[in-house]
Amino acid sequence: MPDPTLDLRGIFPPIPTPFDAAGTIDRDALVRNFEFLNTFDLRGYVVLGSNGEAVHLSIEERLYLLELTRNLIPESRLLIAGTGCPSTLQTIMLSQRAAGFGADAILVLPPHYYTGRMTIEALVGHFRAVADACSIPVIIYNMPACTGMDMDEETIAVIAEHPNILGLKDSGGDVVKLGALHHRLGEGFQILAGSAGFLLPALSVGAAGGVLALANIAPAQCLAIRELSLAGDWDKAREIQVRLIEANTAVTRRWGVAGLKAAMNLIGLAGGSVRAPLLDLGKPEIEQLKSILIDRQMLEPER
């Protein structure tokens, strides 16, 4: 039976998928990255999300990645699998396979190819069908930058009525909406900030934590913001939050996955290259990124 009480409180890095020189998933690189991340008190990991380039992976590659990462993640930490597909049937099939590989919850983007036809009725029907068919809880994923649609409060609230809908990852950054949802749905509906750029504001209106690209390269700082907010030290939390904004923008809105992977390479992790049609950062962009990371105390200056 699904566990609607699964505790999402904490920080989740969305794991990038490293590729080797031949363009295939690099197992050794992934092991290396998890060895680093597992030293921090993270709540778990999101695999096959936007930063994982899931849309560029075949179904076979996605299943291989799920099997591989489940074995790299300690049992005490959660594996959240991104399973959103263009159709309800595809989403259900991938979600059921993810559950079979040991995922603790699934993260589901709304279908968005036929954006103009994605009415509240269509979206509610989709999420309810997925939630009915899955043996693990469902997390709604609102990602306007990739889907071209920003799910409003009413749509999310109606979808959330299903007992197997656990919460929301929101990357839109509308903190007013997040606060309204928390007030309307209560603690039982767990909200995760989808970007480190607004982690503290989201926590201040009731978010349980965050799924943060920046947590791949600055896990300690992301964790500190949440811990300080829980302790009531808002001034110190605000200081760290402000310091992270420029670096977060660089690896999200400005350069996206290519920026995140380049940042991982710079700090000694295995980011590797992106998969076409995405393009890796050029040398001038890497130098700009390096300067930002040094300025924000995420990278030691060269001596």
* Residue 48 to residue 51: CA distance in whole angstroms: 8
- Whole-angstrom distance, CA of residue 176 vs CA of residue 201: 10
Handedness of CA 87, 85, 166, 176 (dihedral sign): negative
Q: Which residues of 55-78 are buried (b: 16+ CB within 10 A; e: fewer)?
A: eebeeebbbbbbebbbebbeeebb
279 φ/ψ sector (left φ>0, alpha ψ -120 to 50, else beta): beta
Active-site hit among 169, 261, 283, 290: 169
169 has catalytic annotation:
yes
The three-class DSSP label of residue 233 is coil
Residue 244: burial class (beta carbons within 10 Å; 0-12, 13-18, 19+): buried
List the catalytic residues: 169
